[in-house]
Chain A
Amino acid sequence: MEALMRILTELRPDVDFEGNKELVDGGELDSFDIVSLVGELCEEYDIEIGADDIVPENFNSVEAIWNLVQKLQED
């Protein structure tokens, strides 16, 4: 979780991630951010995130991203 926060703040220092539940729907993260983020996550957690995982629900909040990472790690 800490590593995730670090990645996120490095990626977009201007966004307040805590408590934000509309990161994608609210337009904070655009598709470029998502791709960069996915690249970092894959490396950090040794997982594979495919295009089919890229839905707003998986990226709308820090918790959602964290859940996605955990789900993929379990698989």
Chain B
Amino acid sequence: MAFTSFRFVIFLAFAVAAYFLTPKRCRWVTLFVANYVFYLISGGKFFVYLLATTVTTYVATVRLGNMAAKNKEAFTKAKETLDKEGKKAWKADFTRKKRRVLIPALLFNFGILAVLKYSAFVTGNLNLLFAKLGIGTELPLFRFLLPLGISFYTFQSMGYLIDVYREKVEPERNFAKLALFISFFPQIVQGPIGRFNALAEQLYRPNEFSYERMKFGIQLMLWGAFKKMVIADRVAVMVDTIFGFPETFGGCYVAVAALGYCIQIYGDFSGGIDIAAGAAQIFGITLEKNFERPYLATSIPDFWRRWHITLGAWFRDYVFYPLSLSKFFMKLGKKGRKFLGNYVGKLLPVLIPQFIVFFLIGIWHGAEWKYIAFGVYNGSLIVLGILFEQPLQNLAKKLSIRMDCFSWRLFQVLRTLVLVALGKIITRAPGVGASAYMMRSMVENWDTDIFFQGGLLTLGLDHKDLWIFFLSCCVLLTVSLMQEKGIAVREALAKQNLYFRWVIYICAVFSLILFGMYGLQYDASDFIYRGF
């Protein structure tokens, strides 16, 4: 059930009505039922995977919770008799016990994800390798259909599992409540990845109906739909044309396609998130922010703090910190300082885990070489950025470049955008070879036909479409700049006159109806008399 489909609107309306009509005590049950109805309608029989993740998470967390409670009791009793070393040993022993619960659950759930997502990639590449080595065996290629939202709900539930393991949160002992947390329907499809301590309480408590919240929620959903249907789906036509024929289009075409794809994927993804957040807001639930105007970032690390924030935060808390604070990397840092000097040595325990994180984020996106290349590209950019930060700053000082003015900020934003756009070419092109070819042609072949010979009009969008695209991007940019300045757009709008507000709402809805890309494209030739 796509977010921009009429069915979703109907489903949401029923779910909202049912939620607020249920007695307060049972509202969470309604939400739980709505989630599973949603999943069964759109994910079908795949819901057994969701169930498996929920059950294993439940069993493991409840067990961890029981262990922690017992341990606490025993520890308080034994505390007096233990010296410092003894306490340390006790703790280490308990951690080992907890790991025996944690690790199988992690392996099981990430195992499902890995098998479903990556087995075709792995067997395919092994077969290529075997062929190269002259080994005659060929592994059967397993291609699985992915259960809806598996990458998201797996991460969300495993984050919760680790939180329980770390004793940050108490485990939820009501199975249905846990299932509700793992399957909240607005966010299960494409995130944001929620944290138990921020989200669960909101789901379980009986939220009051609020007209204001509903209004704001609907507005946010409209805005998301606008980004997705008017902007992203429109520019997608052009982007698909160019990326579909990498050999045909060179020079500026590639640049336009890369920029276009940046806008497309942002509109699509952040639009979807806005619809999810708006839907959640109607229920009185605030989802975590997932995007914060990423293309206004001034550096690549800044970009990753603004793009798909919840995924980045997940990897930071559950991969980056554990890795970089592990004994191994701490020791490595000490050794590094001895051999590589203070500056680089100190960075080692940061840079290597950071690189690993980006590698993982790359393959999280999909099982293809290009996503690995994408991860390596981003990891390298960040590492290089850190390594060259000091020398570049010295250089800027020598050239006496001012860094506290608008032009410098603009330069940073544009520079970051170019680097990001190059990364997008990697993920959008059909393969690593094609993206390399396209990037080369962008530099070598200055084909400017797209601007001067009407080439822009040959890519599937006519001049009216291009105008709509341009104007809606202006709207998007204006809103983004307002938000960047700290203006809450919906709140500011709510303070305006009723008439003005209505004009805005009506324009918003009609721009979706008229300019949204949906349904069959109207082609007059389908309608001419074709036989009386």
Q: Given A32, A38, A55, A75, which contacts B325 in the complex, CB threshold below 8 Å?
A: A38
B349 touching A54, Cβ below 8 Å = no
B349 touching A35, Cβ below 8 Å = yes
State whether A31 and B349 are in contact (beta carbons under 8 Å apart), knowing that A39-B330, A52-B167, A52-B168 are contacts in the complex: no
B247 near A: Cβ within 8 Å? Answer: no
B73 near A: Cβ within 8 Å? Answer: no
How distant is the Cα of A27 from the Cα of B325 in the complex, in angstroms? 20
Q: Smallest CB-CB separation from B91: which chain A residue?
A: A75
- Count how many chain B residues have C-beta atoms less than 8 Å from C-beta atoms of the other chain: 23
How distant is the Cα of A34 from the Cα of B301 in the complex, in angstroms? 15
B484 near A: Cβ within 8 Å? Answer: no
State whether A51 and B321 are in contact (beta carbons under 8 Å apart), knowing that A31-B316, A32-B350, A35-B349 are contacts in the complex: yes
State whether A50 and B320 are in contact (beta carbons under 8 Å apart), knowing that A35-B350, A39-B330, A75-B87 are contacts in the complex: no
Residues of B within 8 A of A75 (CB): 87, 91
How distant is the Cα of A34 from the Cα of B313 in the complex, in angstroms? 14
State whether A32 and B386 are in contact (beta carbons under 8 Å apart), knowing that A49-B325, A51-B325, A75-B87 are contacts in the complex: yes
Residues of A within 8 A of B318 (CB): 51
A36 near B: Cβ within 8 Å? Answer: yes
- Can you offer 14 A-B residue contacts whose CB atoms are under 8 A? A30-B305, A31-B316, A31-B320, A35-B324, A38-B325, A39-B330, A50-B322, A50-B325, A51-B321, A51-B322, A52-B168, A54-B321, A54-B325, A75-B91
Interface of A toward B, CB cutoff 8 Å:
27, 30-32, 34-36, 38-39, 42, 49-52, 54-55, 75
The 7 closest A-B pairs by CB, nearest first: A52-B166, A51-B322, A51-B321, A35-B324, A54-B321, A32-B350, A35-B350
Q: A30-B305, A35-B324, A75-B91 are in contact. List 14 more A-B contacts (CB 8 A).
A: A30-B301, A31-B320, A31-B321, A31-B350, A34-B321, A35-B321, A36-B350, A39-B330, A39-B333, A39-B349, A51-B318, A51-B322, A51-B325, A54-B325
Interface of B toward A, CB cutoff 8 Å:
87, 91, 166-168, 301, 305, 316-318, 320-322, 324-325, 330, 333, 346-347, 349-350, 354, 386
